[in-house]
Amino acid sequence: MNCEVLAISVDSPYTHKVWQETELSKMVPGGLPYPMLSDPAGTIGRLYGVYDEDTGVDVRGRFLIDPEGNLQAYEVLAPAIGRNVGEMIRQVKACKHVLATGEATPAGWEEGKKALRPEPGLSGRVCEIWNPEMAF
């Protein structure tokens, strides 16, 4: 999808290596196909608001940053809540569509579905283009 994916945690490079070799490589053939970066002091986690001072670890977060460095989407979950890779991919596609067309992607937008062109007069007419059933 022409994206750069990074995993960042407070764990050491050694811990990442062990996790990759003993666990991740069993779930994903060859292990994760992107870098796992170490942020032992939690500097990056603090910048993104996911560092937990009490436990000294980052809460799980996902951040979608466009090519200009602007934050387009983020999700922060409690450790026990599983993430949805399909939703992450949908959001990447939506972000690419928005950047390429200037259109807005309504709730549940998928590639090939209708998007909204922000323009004068759209207000009060969204229901002619999009309805809640389209979100599912």
Q: Which residues pair with 61 in a beta bridge?
A: 76
pLDDT at residue 131 is higher than 90 = no
pLDDT at residue 109 is higher than 90 = yes
Model's pTM, two decimal places? 0.83
> What whole-number distance in Å separates Cα of residue 97 and Cα of residue 103?
7
Q: Quick check: 60 and 83 in contact, CB under 8 A?
A: yes
Region class of 76: left (phi > 0), else alpha (psi between -120 and 50), else beta: beta
Residue 66: its pLDDT value, please? 93
Q: 1-52 pLDDT, tens per residue?
A: 889 999 999 999 999 999 999 999 999 998 888 899 999 999 999 999 999 9
What contacts 37, CB < 8 A, 6 or more positions away?
A: 6, 7, 8, 9, 44
Q: 74-104 pLDDT, tens per residue?
A: 999 988 999 898 999 999 999 999 999 999 9
Residue 16: its pLDDT value, please? 93
Q: Quick check: 9 and 58 in contact, CB under 8 A?
A: yes
Residue 32: its pLDDT value, please? 87
Q: What domains, with CATH codes, occur in the chain?
A: 1-58 (no CATH), 80-136 (3.30.1020)
Residue 76: its pLDDT value, please? 95
> What whole-number distance in Å separates Cα of residue 79 and Cα of residue 54?
15
Q: Quick check: 133 and 127 in contact, CB under 8 A?
A: no
